[in-house]
Amino acid sequence: MESQVRGGTRWKRFAVVMVPSVAATAAIGVALAQGALAASFSVSGQSFKVTADKLVGQGFAQYGAIDSGYTLDGQKTAHPVAVSAFKKATINNMCQSVVTPNVPFFGSVSLTLKAGGDKPVEADNLYIDVADLNADATFNNIDIGVAAKDAAKGPGMKGGGEQANPYGFAQQADSATLTDVKQTAWATTAGTFKLSGLKMSLSTGTHECY
């Protein structure tokens, strides 16, 4: 969910950023819960937090890139990220949150998504643009120091408008298991993203996943 906002009052900025995000999330939530839709989530000018009890991924690769976007007042911005890519992944008890600060009359407003409590979230061709990660990790048959373009165990480089050096440092593994995951990310994309038991909430105040 990406919003590019230029000018306007703070309230208009909030409306442009939050209302389409909520509407789009509600609309895609039903389709995603049925596994019917490709998914792409990003927040221009804002990072978001993600937690999970466990992520099990098959076909893992990781490489560096630059995420470009806009701040809430329309200024261009860029962020260095580590792209974690999986051919297939399951995620238990996932939480994703983003906070929009300084909203007139409300202060901070938090958007929270939760899924995978009873049945794991399922994803194909999953890419997570990570700024910060804390987890316990186990990698099977890991190769460290390959060129990003040669990391054939994963789903390949993201492509599109991605800014990444195909000859830059990368690592890959047959599989990866991460537990007690806490991460800050700038974007998540997937070919399919099945969110079982999806719950979405919008609330005043700062309510983050961690």
The pLDDT > 70 percentage for the chain reads 79
| Kind plus residue range of the DSSP H or E element containing 22 | helix 10-33
Cα 19 → chain centroid? 19
CB 44 within 8 A of CB 138: no
- Choice between 94 and 26, residue whose per-residue pLDDT is larger: 94
Residue 153 lies in a domain: yes
Q: For the chain, what percentages of helix, strand and coil (3-state, to nearest 5) are there?
A: 15, 55, 30
Sole residue written with tokens 């978001």: 48
Residue 101: the pLDDT is 87
The pLDDT > 90 percentage for the chain reads 66
Number of domains in the chain: 1
95-104 per-position pLDDT tens digit: 999 998 888 8
This model's pTM is above 0.75: yes
Residue 14: the pLDDT is 38
Q: How many CA atoms lie within 13 A of 101 on its CB side?
A: 7
Q: Is the pLDDT of residue 67 over 50?
A: yes
Residue 20: the pLDDT is 41
Q: Whole-angstrom Cα distance, residue 22 to residue 71?
A: 19
Residue 4 lies in a domain: no
Q: Which domain holds residue 159?
A: 10-204
Residue 115 lies in a domain: yes
Q: Whole-angstrom Cα distance, residue 88 to residue 111?
A: 26
Residue 194: the pLDDT is 92
Nearest to 51 by CA among 132, 155, 154: 132
Name the amino acid, one letter, at 161: G
Residue 12: the pLDDT is 44
Residue 33 lies in a domain: yes
Residue 38 lies in a domain: yes
Residue 73: the pLDDT is 77
Average pLDDT, the chain: 84
DSSP label at residue 153: T
Q: How confident is the model at residue 75 (pLDDT cuts 50, 70, 90)?
A: confident
Residue 210 lies in a domain: no
32-41, 44-53, 177-186: which has the highest mean pLDDT? 177-186
Q: Whole-angstrom Cα distance, residue 31 to residue 27?
A: 7
